[in-house]
């Protein structure tokens, strides 16, 4: 675990001896991981601070103001929390102030020892940049899968975001495990069938079918449909927004029922509901839920997207 913590601090974040590090954790997170991250940060940085908060209720819910203020003044931040702080105003503002942020919501000991964190993130970065060149000017993306997904996204003019694990420049942000390229779409229509895992639920033994119209989820079908619908509607109508389309790139990532790693698994895509204001969209709610689709077929402007293993 200490070896992985050092990889995060040194390789991914490029910590320097004159920098400050802030570890944000909560009372529901694994203390052994928190301590390993803090210990590695303390060895590499001039100053290391760990702040423990109460667990948030949902992904995307803001941290306390005192933590948000501290985030603005740290050179590097690791958010090892139960729920994700990625899609929060606090994280966005910290990056605007020049902080480098790694978010690790729900990370487990097993993930620290084997899986997506074992990846060569420089190779993922190279591959993501090549894929970005194929996607950056695309107008329409169509997804299909054997499970029944058949949906089209309007991404014309939208900005693709790379999450590669390399977080060394002021304002950089990455999830860890990393390995995805994603976009906030303008619009979406069709059927999305989540058959891998769903944030807030976990690994799915039966798929969830989501009917999508004009960029919103308008119907949910399946064993877990009611649970997902209740989660989405807990923040009001904007929770139904189709917030994100993402493509997993990490060959060592494992589908575990923990969305942090699940959405990075190679040969998957994920579709998110709720907020996307933190990465270029216009919906701002305290909810962001990703659902993973296994082995999709992807068409970009009508042409099959050929993905080459990095």
Low-confidence ranges of the chain (pLDDT < 70): 307-310
Rounded-to-integer distance, Cα 8 and Cα 231, Å: 32
Which residue from 253, 207, 249 is spatially nearest to 110, judged by alpha carbons? Answer: 253
The reply to whether 32 and 158 lie within a common domain is: no
Domain containing residue 127: 117-304
Give residue 60's pLDDT: 87
Burial 172-209 (b: 16+ CB within 10 A, else e): bbbbbbbbbbbbbbbbbbbbbbbbbbbbbbeebeebbb
Number of domains in the chain: 2
CATH number of the domain that residue 71 is part of: 3.40.50.2300
Rounded-to-integer distance, Cα 295 and Cα 16, Å: 40
Give residue 307's pLDDT: 67
Give residue 309's pLDDT: 47
Of 78, 113, 148, the last residue of a domain is: 113
The per-residue pLDDT for range 45-59, each reduced to its tens digit, is 999 999 999 999 888
Rounded-to-integer distance, Cα 254 and Cα 107, Å: 13
The per-residue pLDDT for range 107-144, each reduced to its tens digit, is 999 999 999 999 999 999 999 999 999 999 999 999 99
Which residue from 153, 154, 185, 162 is spatially nearest to 283, judged by alpha carbons? Answer: 185
Give residue 306's pLDDT: 78
Task: Enter the pTM of the model.
Answer: 0.89
The reply to whether 106 and 127 lie within a common domain is: no
Give residue 310's pLDDT: 47
Give the residue ranges of DSSP H helices in the chain. Answer: 2-6, 31-44, 65-71, 89-96, 109-113, 121-135, 225-233, 259-262
Give residue 42's pLDDT: 97
In a domain, 309, yes or no: no
In a domain, 253, yes or no: yes
């Amino acid at each position: 675990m200490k070896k992985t913590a050092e990889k995060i601090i040194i390789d991914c974040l490029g910590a320097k001896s004159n920098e400050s590090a802030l570890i944000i954790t909560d009372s529901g997170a694994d203390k052994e991981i928190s301590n390993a991250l803090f210990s590695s940060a303390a060895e590499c940085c001039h100053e290391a601070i760990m702040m423990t908060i109460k667990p948030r209720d949902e992904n995307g819910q803001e941290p306390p103001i005192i933590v948000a203020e501290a985030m603005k003044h740290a050179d590097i931040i690791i958010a090892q929390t139960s729920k994700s702080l990625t899609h929060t105003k606090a994280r966005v503002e910290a990056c605007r102030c020049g902080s480098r942020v790694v978010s690790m919501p729900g990370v487990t000991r097993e993930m620290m020892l084997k899986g997506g964190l074992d990846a060569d993130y420089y190779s993922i970065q190279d591959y993501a940049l090549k894929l970005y060149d194929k996607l950056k000017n695309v107008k329409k993306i169509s997804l299909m899968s054997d499970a029944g997904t058949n949906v089209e996204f309007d991404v014309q003019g939208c900005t693709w975001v790379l999450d590669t694990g390399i977080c060394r420049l002021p304002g950089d942000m990455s999830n860890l495990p990393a390995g995805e390229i994603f976009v906030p779409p303008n619009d979406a229509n069709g059927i999305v069938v989540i058959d891998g895992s769903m944030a807030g639920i976990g690994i799915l033994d039966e798929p969830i079918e989501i009917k999508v119209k004009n960029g919103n989820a308008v119907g949910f079908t399946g064993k877990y449909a009611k649970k997902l619908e209740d989660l989405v509607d807990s923040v009001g109508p904007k929770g139904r927004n189709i917030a994100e389309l993402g493509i997993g790139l990490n060959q060592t990532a494992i589908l575990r029922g923990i969305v942090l790693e699940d959405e990075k698994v190679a040969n998957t895509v994920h579709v998110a509901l709720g907020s996307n204001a933190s990465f270029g969209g216009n919906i701002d709610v305290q909810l962001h839920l990703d659902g993973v689709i296994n082995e999709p077929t992807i068409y970009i402007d009508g042409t099959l997207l050929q993905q080459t293993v990095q």
